[in-house]
Structures are given as structure tokens and as C-alpha cells.
A and B are shown apart, each in its own frame.
Chain A
Amino acid sequence: MPPAPGPDILRGTLDLLILKALSWGPAHGYAVARWIQQATGDALAVGEGSLYPALHRLEEREWIAASWGTSENNRQAKYYALTRRGRAQLRIEADNWRRYAAAVFAALDAPALQG
């Protein structure tokens, strides 16, 4: 069951984005997609579908919890909320990502190896 990341986004990054999207409160899948669309300049433009396996996997790991509720337009929708463990995970992953990005940026700006 290899993960199917969106064409433009790494799987770990997608998990991180989902956790971040939910950090402001429970939301259904579409709202998460919308937030990612706006926050990333439409990184998921094609392949929004890959969002859902990621959501279910996070639910299985108990980083997020799902429940059915009523949406703003009175429809049954599945809402996801960050669990305590998910919130902790978000902090860890965000830190990791920042360190990683900083390292990559530093490398990009580094001069050629001497000798």
C-alpha cells in the first residue's frame, strides 16, 4: 500500500499541512483542501483526492479524530479534529520541517567545497 502523494507535494508535507489546517479547530475534508489551496498557492491543484487517504491514515494513528456533523449548508459531513497527540505531533513535525528547510537553504547558499 504505497502512499500516493500528490504530484506536487511530498507525503510528509501533506500530513504536516493537514495537521496545521486543523490546528484552528475541527474542519471537514473540503475545508482542509480549501485552506491548503489558499495557504500554499494551490499546491494541490491537481490531485485533491490524495488528501483523503492521508486524513484516514492520520485518524488511524489517532493524531486526528473524526466524527459526523452538519456542515454550514446543512449537509452531513465528516469533521476532523486534532487530538492531543496530533497537536504534539504538529509541533514536532513543524520544527523538523523548519530545521530541514533551513539546512537546505543554507546549502543552496553555500560556496563550493575548497580543495
Chain B
Amino acid sequence: MARWSRFRRFFGAEPKTDVDAELAFHLEMRARELVDAGVAPDRARELALQRFGDYDGPRKQCVAITTRRERRMARIEYLHELRQDVGYALRMLRRAPGFTLVALTTLALGIGANSAIFSVVHGVLLAPLPYRDADRLYRVTTLYPDGTPYSLSPPDFMSVREQTRTFEQVEAFTDGIYTMLGAGEPREVRGTGVSDGFFTLLGLPVAVGRGFLPAENQPGRDRIAVLDHAFWQRQFGGDPTVVGRTITVAGTPLEIVGVLAEGARLQNDTDLYRPITYDDTFSAATARGRRGEFLFVVGRATPGTTLARIDADLKRIGTQLQSSFRGTNDGLTFNATTLNDVIVGDVRTPLLVLLGAVGFVLLVACANVANLLLARASARRSELAVRSALGAGRVRLVRQLLTEAVVLGGVGAAIGVAIAYGATRALVAAEPANIPRLREVGVNGVVVAFTFAIGISTSVLFGILPALQFSGKRLPSALRDSTRSGTGGGQRMRSTLVVAEMALAVVLLIGAGLLIRSFVQMTRVDPGFRPEQALSFRVTLQGEKYRKDEAARLRAAEFEDRLRALPGVTTVATTSLLPLSGRGAMVGFAVVGAPPPPPNVNAEIAMASITPDYFRAINTPLRRGRFFTAHDQTEAPRVVIVNEAAVRRWFADRDPIGSHVDINGVEREVVGLVGDVLQRNPADPVAPMVFAPYAQRTTRSLRIVVRTAGDPSALTTAIRGEIRAIDADLAITDIRPLRQLVVRSLSTPRFYTSLLTLFAGVGLVLATTGVFGVMSYAVAQRTREISIRMALGALPGDVLRMIVGRAIGLAAIGAVVGVATALLLGRFIQGQLFGVSLLDPATIGIVPLVLGASAALASFVPARRATRFDPASALRE
């Protein structure tokens, strides 16, 4: 009886009607008893009610208790059935190990890849920056009339700080590379100077010791440093007694006062922080130093302030400074960008493209698994029919099929998390160039939740088709159906899936194809120098003994002489800036005698210092004039060499050789013209540049290039020895073949191209497997039809053509849909293309051919099988 009552609710029992019936029965029995005892019926009813007492209260209580009970029963029953379904699903999966292995591998790889890319997207793009009120942080830049943003000068920074109405705090930092002494070997460190409230602005906590005090930016009190946590671990082994020790940075002794907490850092790999020294240019009142822009300024807006209001506020300050400081601030204003955009803006689209691509791979994987399930469901028609005949409801059957899919998806997601864990670590270790915040990337709770969410949602996606196919059919008739006859509907659904996955594969292939073509184009760009058989390294001359230019010049000459004497060395030269290492210092520039450019044009040019043999060392051709010689001494007439970009930009109709140019107010004669050398990467156009003799423009930061007759790496130890012998206090950094500069300049496109190619390859393999599966199934289903055709005289070639032709037909539809989709989505990778257009005929032409060939190949095997059918035995079946 108890079990029966549990199922009563299926017949629509309602707690309310149940209770009413029960209470009515009571009253009726009582009344009847009274009538039997001789009371008049009306009076009996009245007495029964009276005896019953309060009616509504107990009734309400009964309904409440019963409803509660029913719900609990329903829940228990649901869990019970779920356990049954899951158990059944696991048994089914175990019983078909081949299917399970293929489906799980496909899913786990698809889900794992998504999870890995998502963990990067989450860590880099989605997670808030690890700073206090990160959503209110903005970078403030100086805006030149031609729209170029620059850093801020100290007086402009102080003015913005003083006059802002939209920021509650404005701070600044500036960074550089310095030599550190006093802690083992001399080494180069990245030092960041910070303004007085910088740590509080970002909310960077200190783990050991203390941070900086507001007064410590004053000259004389600024000789202190706070270490980055990772640097502290690396360099000082995490020793807390380091606080109080003195190190020498850039020739200045600094006392270590504290260490930042783990994870508290800027995004520029700073090793140590020190206060910016507030000299007299740190004043909102001065005109001096207004155009010396080197401060990266960050402000925290007051809550609820929009970017538009901030920009208006900054514009107001800019306009005000224009009138107060004529001559220095003409035409200049300021603007703001969210700090988040500054840090991750450049990688947003490429990363989202990767996430989209890997999502497509998962969709292809889903289509494959859906196809597998459809094929299996067909094979299980009899089993399902039997279960239905035995009383399993249609809803229950659909639910059970879906449960099987979700179990697959769940297990796939669990394996996917493991894959993602490994893949993410590999990705982070690969340090794809220019992806910020990589150290914050990892498989965390959000990533795991995402993984299971896609596991479950995709399983519903691929599970719903087979489930619906069955719910739409009258199952008992399936029991009667012969298992041999194919079902048209199922075949159509499978074909649609295959077309869809081929279309997705085409989109991936076109994307990958375009990136590969771009990459090839980039590698074909002439770097302007010959990196083979040369190496370079960096030495920075810091400290008291190099305070005088003369001392630095003598030292640089000494390096060159000693290195030139090494066996195998052919050329040695020094520069302040290597190829593919940026544009270097920007200096004011004008051609003497040329009409002055309009005032809102940025009249600046990149500048580097070189010793006479530099262009011979990197092997860059001289176009006209001459290279520098030993005669271009400090006291000799001032000379420069220009690159071709400078000629295009500044010497439209004049001969550059012999012209005079004005560089930061100093007149120099142009004596040579050299070929353009890449400055950033092959896709970045070469900017105008001038080179001055090192003797006439002496820097402390030296990049020494050594060209050799043989393998340059063999000289590494000898080079180190020579430099150390000259001055043991100098740090030798980045000693590596020049070739590395070229490799590194391509690392960003290489990273995105390889990943997208990998995804496209996986997509193609999966789609091909899909074609294979569907054609095999179709052949198996049509055994009888094919046999009849062959019995009636069809040749094996006809059968082969028929089946392969059908696969190619599907591929053709997939290709058309895919190409159309790719063109629609093209704008997302537009920014990553170089030297190819979205409509690149080679890519769009080749991809469908690849797809067609894979489809033909995939259908060939089942087609061959069909031609070997023995008509007699097939017909006898």
C-alpha cells in the first residue's frame, strides 16, 4: 500500500482535494451516525461541525504538511531515477568501449582545449587587474595635436594632480634598466621610480619592512628601495634580514627598506622600486621641463565618473595649461584610457579569436559525437523499443538518452580539466610574446566551473538530437522494423551534421591559412641586416667612474679593441640601439633650409649612436655617401647618417647628402644614407631614423655587436672574460646570436598562427572522421540497395563514384557555407593579417580543395567496402 501511494501523484492527486475529501468523509460519517441515532439531518450536520471545532486551521495545516511531504517524495524519487539513469548510462558506456573511447577522447580534447584557452582569457582579460578599485584606474597621457599620445612631464603631472576634479588620486612611475652592485655578481635590474602615493593608489601591500613615506621623494631622503617579491626570492633567497642592507643601483647606494607582498606588482617586471626624486621640475608652477615627458601617470577616478567626464576634465586642464604656459604647452591636451585597456587592449581581439576558434573545434567535436550517438541510437532501436514496451514512458526514455550524453559530457569535462591544467602550464611556460598578466593565468575555480558548464551544455547539444529522434517516433513500430532498413530522417540529420562540421572546419582552415600566409609574408620581409654569424650583448656603464663622457668613450673603445683581437672575430661595433629592439630615443628634428612643417605635426625622429663599424657589423648596405670613420671625433664637425625612411619623410625633393639638419637645436651634416633596418617587427613600417657617431653622442648603455667568421656562440665565454678583465663591476646581459632578434620579433604572430593552425588541423581531422563515420554508416544501411544495383549490373566503379560523389557533394555544401561564414567573421582577424587580404584567393581556393580531398579520402574506404558486397549473401539476409 505504501509503495502505491508513492505513485498516486502521477494521477493528479492534489494535497488540497485529498485533505478536503478526508475531512468531508469525517463530517459525513459523524452526521450519519447522528441521523442513525434519530437526529434530524440538518441538525446532525450542524452538530458534526460543532464537534469538529475549528475547520480552516487544521485543514490548512494538513495541506501544508502534505504538500511538504509530497515534494520531498518527488525529490527522492527524482534522485532515485537519476541514479538509475546514471548507473544505466555508465553500464552502456562500459559495454561499448570503442564508442566510449572515441567519444570521450574527442570530447575531452575539445573541452580541454577550450578550458585552456579560457583560462588564459580569464586570467588576462576577464579577471580584474590585481589592484585596488581596478575598474576606476586610468592612464593619463599627453595628447599631441596630431593625435599621438605621450607620457607626462613632471610639471604637467603636478598640474593635472592639482587641478583634477574627476580623480581622487593621481600618481606616476617611470622605469629603466640599471646595474645593481652589492648582491653577488653585478647584474642588470629593472627599476621603477614611483611617486609618493603610488603603492597606496594600487593597493600594493608590503610583506617585509615598510613602503615609502610621503617625504621620501625629497632629494637627500630618496636613497631607499623596496624589492619586488619574486626578485627578493630569486636574488636574496627570500631572506628577511635583507631589510637594512645597502645595494648600489646605477651608481647610487640605496638602503632596502621593504619587500612587496607576493603577487603585488606592476605589469612591467620590475625588480625594485625607489621613490622618484622630486627635483624643481615637480611643480605645477614651473614652465621648465614641461616637454620632458617620461612619467607613466595613473589616476583613480571618483566613484561613478564616466570616461567622457574624465576626458572633459583633462581637456579643461590642458586648455588652461595652454594659456598659462605658452611655448611649452601649445596645442597639447591630455586624455585618459582605462588601465585595463592599456594593459590588455592589444591582446583582446587575438585572444578572443583563439577562444572562438577553439569553440568551433568543440562544436565540430560535438557534431561528431552527436553522429556517433545517432548511429548508436539506431543500433539501439530494438533495446529502446523493448524498454518502451515494458512501460518506460517517452519522457523517461528521452531523459535516459540525455543522461547518457550528460554523463559523457561530464566525464569529458573532468578529463578536460586535467588536459587544461597541463596545456595552461605549457602555454604559460612558452611565454608567448606580448601577452600581459600571464603569471596570473591558471586553472582556478572559475575555469573548472566553465569547463563543466561547457561539458554539460555541449552534451545537451549533442544528446538532444538522438533523443528527439526517438521521442518523435512511435517506438513499438520500431520493434517490428527490420534493423536493416535505413531511416531517411536519421540519414538526413547525420548529413546535416557533417555539412555543419565541415563548414566549421573551413572557417578554421581559412583563418589559419590567412595567418600562415601573413606569417610567411612577414618572414619574407627583408630585415635590412644580416643576422647570421653575429652576436650581440649589452653592457651598461654606470657609476662614478663613467660620469664623464670621455671615460665612457675610452671604455667603449677598449671593449672594441680587446674583442677585435679575439680569434675568429671579423668586425666589432657598438650601438645604443640594436635592430628589432624598438625605436630608441625620440629627438626634435628639422631640415635646415626646408619650409617648416605645420605646427600640429610631430617633428621628431628616432636617434641612435653608433661606432664607425656598426653597419658593417650588422651588414646593412650603404646607399649613398659614407659610413662614419675614426675622423668623426668628438671635436670634429657634427655629422649624421639617415635611413631611407627619413629620406622619404623629410627629403622629398632634395639630396640628403650634404644637407644640414637640426637635431634638438644642434646642427649636423648628413654624410650617409643607409638601407632601412626593421625596428619593431616585420609588420611594423620602419620609422625615420638618424644615427650619430658615438664619439659625438655618448650613451652609457652599450650594445656591442660581434661578427665572426665561424659560429658566434663559440665565443660567448671568451667575450665575457674580456669584458670582466676590463671592469669586473659591469653586468653582461642578453648575450645571444643576432638571429634571436629576428626570431623574437616574430614570436607573437608565431604563437597565434601555430595555435590557430593546430585548432584548424584538429577541426579538419574531426570533420574527416565525421565524413568517414557517416559514409560508413550509410554504406552499411544501404547494403541491400547496393547489392541490388550490383546484381542488376552496376560496376564497382559506379558504386565507388556514387558514394565518394555523395561525400564530395556534402563537402561542397560545407565549403560554401564555411567560406561565407569565414568572410563574415574575417574582420576579427583583419588586425593580425600582413600582406594578404581577407579575400586572399590562394587561401579561399585551396581550403575547399583540401576539404574535398579529405572527404573523398574519408569516403573511399567505406565505398571500397561497398564494392566488395556479395550481392547474393546480402540479398539472402
Asked if residues A56 and B25 are in contact (CB atoms below 8 Å), the reply is no
A residues within 8 A CB of B824?
none
Please tell me which stretch of B65-73, B631-639, B656-664, B835-843 contacts chain A, meaning at least 4 of its Cβ atoms lie within 8 angstroms of it: B65-73
B residues within 8 A CB of A83?
2
Asked if residues B54 and A49 are in contact (CB atoms below 8 Å), the reply is yes
Please tell me which stretch of A16-24, A72-80, A98-106 contacts chain B, meaning at least 4 of its Cβ atoms lie within 8 angstroms of it: A72-80
Given the interface contacts A56-B66, A67-B2, A67-B4, does A30 sit within 8 Å of B29 by beta carbon?
A: yes
The verdict on B23 contacting chain A, using a C-beta distance below 8 Å, is yes
Contact of A4 among B2, B5, B52, B57 (CB under 8 A): B57
Q: What distance in Å separates the Cβ of A56 from its nearest Cβ neighbour in chain B?
A: 4
Contact of B1 among A49, A51, A65 (CB under 8 A): A65
A57–B58 Cα distance when bound, in Å, is 11
A residues within 8 A CB of B62?
52-53, 56
Please tell me which stretch of A40-48, A88-96, A107-115 contacts chain B, meaning at least 4 of its Cβ atoms lie within 8 angstroms of it: A40-48
The verdict on A36 contacting chain B, using a C-beta distance below 8 Å, is no
Given the interface contacts A29-B22, A71-B25, does A81 sit within 8 Å of B1 by beta carbon?
A: yes
A residues within 8 A CB of B52?
47-49
Asked if residues A29 and B58 are in contact (CB atoms below 8 Å), the reply is no
The verdict on B10 contacting chain A, using a C-beta distance below 8 Å, is no
Asked if residues B53 and A29 are in contact (CB atoms below 8 Å), the reply is no
The verdict on A28 contacting chain B, using a C-beta distance below 8 Å, is yes
Given the interface contacts A52-B22, A65-B2, does A60 sit within 8 Å of B65 by beta carbon?
A: yes
Asked if residues A59 and B69 are in contact (CB atoms below 8 Å), the reply is yes
Interface residues on chain A, size class: 20 to 34
B residues within 8 A CB of A52?
19, 22-23, 26, 58-59, 61-62
Contact of A60 among B4, B5, B21, B69 (CB under 8 A): B69
User: What is the interface of chain B mostly: helix, strand, loop, or mixed?
Assistant: helix
Query: Would you give the 0/1 interface string for B5-38, flagging 1 where the beta carbon is closer than 8 Å to chain A?
Result: 1001000000000110111011011101000000
A residues within 8 A CB of B22?
29, 52, 77-78
B residues within 8 A CB of A60?
65, 68-69
Given the interface contacts A1-B61, A81-B1, does A28 sit within 8 Å of B25 by beta carbon?
A: yes
B residues within 8 A CB of A49?
23, 52-55, 57-59
B residues within 8 A CB of A48?
26, 30, 51-53
Asked if residues A47 and B53 are in contact (CB atoms below 8 Å), the reply is yes
Q: What distance in Å separates the Cβ of B76 from its nearest Cβ neighbour in chain A?
A: 12
Contact of B25 among A30, A47, A59 (CB under 8 A): A30
B residues within 8 A CB of A65?
1-2, 5
Given the interface contacts A59-B69, A60-B69, A77-B25, does A46 sit within 8 Å of B53 by beta carbon?
A: yes
The verdict on B64 contacting chain A, using a C-beta distance below 8 Å, is yes
Asked if residues A33 and B26 are in contact (CB atoms below 8 Å), the reply is yes
Asked if residues B58 and A50 are in contact (CB atoms below 8 Å), the reply is yes
A29–B23 Cα distance when bound, in Å, is 9
Asked if residues B64 and A1 are in contact (CB atoms below 8 Å), the reply is yes
Q: 17 A-B contacts, Cβ less than 8 Å apart?
A: A1-B61, A4-B61, A29-B22, A30-B30, A48-B53, A49-B23, A49-B58, A50-B53, A50-B58, A52-B22, A59-B69, A60-B65, A67-B4, A71-B25, A73-B32, A75-B28, A81-B1
Q: A48-B26, A52-B58, A68-B5 are in contact. List 9 more A-B contacts (CB 8 A).
A: A48-B51, A49-B54, A50-B53, A50-B58, A52-B59, A52-B61, A67-B1, A67-B5, A77-B25
